[in-house]
Structure 1
Amino acid sequence: MPDSELLMKLAVIIATFGRKEQLAQLLVHLERQERLPDEVVVSAPDETHVPVYEPRVFPISIVLGRRGLCAQRNRALEQVLERFDVITFFDDDFIPKDDYLRLVELAFQEHEDWAVVMGHVVKDGARTAGLSWAEGLQVLAAEPSKMPVKPKIVDHVGAYGCNMSIRMKFVGELRFDERLVLYGWQEDIDFTSQLRRFGRVIGLNTLRGVHLGLKIGRVSGERFGYSQIINPTYLMRKGTVPASFALPLIGRNIAANLVRSLWPEPYVDRRGRLRGNLIALAHLLKGRIEPEYIQKIAA
């Protein structure tokens, strides 16, 4: 392995909104990484979303500006361009295993044709009522006995944004699409799918972590329901995701909201999502595809 590959610089980017306490816990947790980040960049709308944190083992940069996941990630990207070989995006409610960044670096060193690498979410609280920080740590603590013997490598259309790493030399002028406002939804697939022309987009089961799926800082059910239909349609028309990915996703969303609106989960606003779905379908019938319309829907 060339010496130059041993000197990779790796930054972690965390876009955050309304989760100051969780972000503080994540920053402290990152100090346990076997391979420390060379820098952590936190992107927030303003200082009220950022905890007081004294850097001890890695430098930290704070960038402030307009609210919205795509806008916040783009501001952070501007901070790291041409300074790092790899960037890892973590959601502010994702807890990585302590070997996560070491294995990310190793993956990019050993596979020059990999453009994007995402890890395996051991447990995803986004699919349930969500997990507390203590519950997430308990899940990770039980992991050693379940570690895969052999790495499993799977190609994907795009990466799940709660934990994804990107080879920076491929990014260039590419940015997250800021028409996908607020929560963004599918912005991760849109961004990373465009990197497939440079290299493989890989899911790697040895990279492991827990996504708490916190409900604070999320958009309303109606807004999210609108995005469930419009965002995949917009990306399909844009050409960054295939119909074979977008149409089944839309169908599953509508079906789930229709069925579960009769007996909704206490932690999901199914009826709000269904209303958002119906507004989006009405817009599609009129040929109206505007992801940013959710800003006109009540929060």
Structure 2
Amino acid sequence: MSPRSRFPDGGSLRSERLRIGIAIATANRPDIVGETVGHIFLQTRKADAILVCSPGLEDVEGLREAYPDVVHIIGPRGLPHQRNRLMEAAQELDILLFIDDDFLMDSNYIAETEAAFCDHPEVVLTTGRVVADGIIGPGFSFDEALARLSIPVAPPATWLTEVYNGYGCNMAIRLEPVRANGLKFDEELPLYAWLEDVDFSRSLAPFGRIVRVEHAIGVHLAVKSGRQRGVRLGYSQIANPCYLMSKGTCSWKKGLFHISRNLAANILGTLRGEKAVDRSGRLRGNLRAVADLVTQRLAPSRALRL
């Protein structure tokens, strides 16, 4: 038995079987999303559906021919818009697992996630354990991510850990409370939608537990192509947490932590001449957002003007 999983055959502790779908929002990265979808078929517990949403057909070129059973949806550009379209298309499912188009799952990821939802009906959202994340550097190639995913990891002491929010690159939701309470991703958060995972998690939190499934592991490539420009992301790093704090889906403590951490990272990265991440562009966006905050014009949508 793999130390990563108690279910090498893809089974769960209970006999019931949930209907689980995987949802991917993508744009401008047809090769990457194709590789990621292909990797999904290695799961020991197969997904009941794979849904992909993109702004146009060119974003998934070759995907439908390679994987004809994948459901493709056209949706407005922007992560919240696309994820809402994916939820609308998941009416026959019980659980919807959102992964980024560059997130690779260990082969037992879905089995572990299903077990968490089956054995704990009070759980409404799960996230996995990211054992390597390219977001803090230049990112990983597909082969590098596969190599990192194959490195043995020590089994964690606990199975489920309470967390404040799911990590948007791999986040599964129980759809029943989402439908019953009309929950959606906030479409006021534009483009890459910085902290949309915090916002949606805390909107769902009143209806049950949010946990990290420690045996559900994966690697986030964090491919830089197709992402928003540094100045726009920098603006969102200030504007979005301020917006979420004002609407009550992010605590002041956590919001200010995000702001200060990113501002400090962008200042230090700019001074050091960091090349892997556009720190100078993000810093310009940070400063523009601070100026808008002072003049009371700060809003997430203003990132689109930069």
What TM-score does the superposition give when structure 2 sets the normalisation length?
0.91
CA contact (8 A) 1:193 1:241 kept: yes
Of 255, 258, 263 in structure 2, the residue corresponding to residue 249 of structure 1 is 258
Q: Secondary structure at the match of 2:202?
A: helix
Matched length: 292
Deviates most, 70-79 or 259-268 = 259-268
- Work out whether 1:111 is the aligned partner of 2:99: no
Distance, in Å, in 2 between the alignment partners of 1:138 and 1:11 is 26
Compared CA separation, residues 287 and 149, structure 1 to 2 (3 A): closer
- Work out whether 1:169 is the aligned partner of 2:176: yes
CA contact (8 A) 1:94 1:212 kept: yes
CA contact (8 A) 1:40 1:58 kept: no
Of 208, 215, 227 in structure 2, the residue corresponding to residue 199 of structure 1 is 208
Residue aligning to 1:160:
167
CA contact (8 A) 1:151 1:205 kept: yes
Residue aligning to 1:99:
108
1:290 shift after superposition: 1.1
CA contact (8 A) 2:14 2:115 kept: no
Query: How far does the alpha carbon of each residue in 1:93-117 deviate from its partner, in whole angstroms, 9 at most, with x for none?
Result: 0000011001111110011111111
Distance, in Å, in 2 between the alignment partners of 1:57 and 1:279 is 44
Query: How far does the alpha carbon of each residue in 1:255-275 deviate from its partner, in whole angstroms, 9 at most, with x for none?
Result: 111222111321111111111
Identity across the alignment (%): 38
Compared CA separation, residues 57 and 179, structure 1 to 2 (3 A): closer
Q: Secondary structure at the match of 1:262?
A: helix
1:253 shift after superposition: 1.1
Residue aligning to 2:85:
75
How is 1:1-299 mapped onto 2 (pairs within 5 angstroms)?
A: 6-53=16-63, 59-81=69-91, 83-143=92-152, 146-148=153-155, 150-172=157-179, 173-297=182-306
Superposed CA RMSD in Å reads 1.8
CA contact (8 A) 2:112 2:213 kept: no
Query: How far does the alpha carbon of each residue in 1:125-171 deviate from its partner, in whole angstroms, 9 at most, with x for none?
Result: 0111100000000011113xx14154343222211100011111111
CA contact (8 A) 1:11 1:41 kept: yes
What TM-score does the superposition give when structure 1 sets the normalisation length?
0.94
Distance, in Å, in 1 between the alignment partners of 2:107 and 2:18 is 18
Distance, in Å, in 1 between the alignment partners of 2:124 and 2:65 is 30
Compared CA separation, residues 167 and 5, structure 1 to 2 (3 A): farther
Deviates most, 17-26 or 39-48 = 17-26
Q: Secondary structure at the match of 2:63?
A: coil
1:45 shift after superposition: 0.3
Q: Secondary structure at the match of 1:171?
A: helix
CA contact (8 A) 1:36 1:58 kept: no
Distance, in Å, in 1 between the alignment partners of 2:178 and 2:15 is 18
1:53 shift after superposition: 3.4
Distance, in Å, in 2 between the alignment partners of 1:149 and 1:235 is 32
Residue aligning to 2:8:
none
Distance, in Å, in 2 between the alignment partners of 1:34 and 1:51 is 27
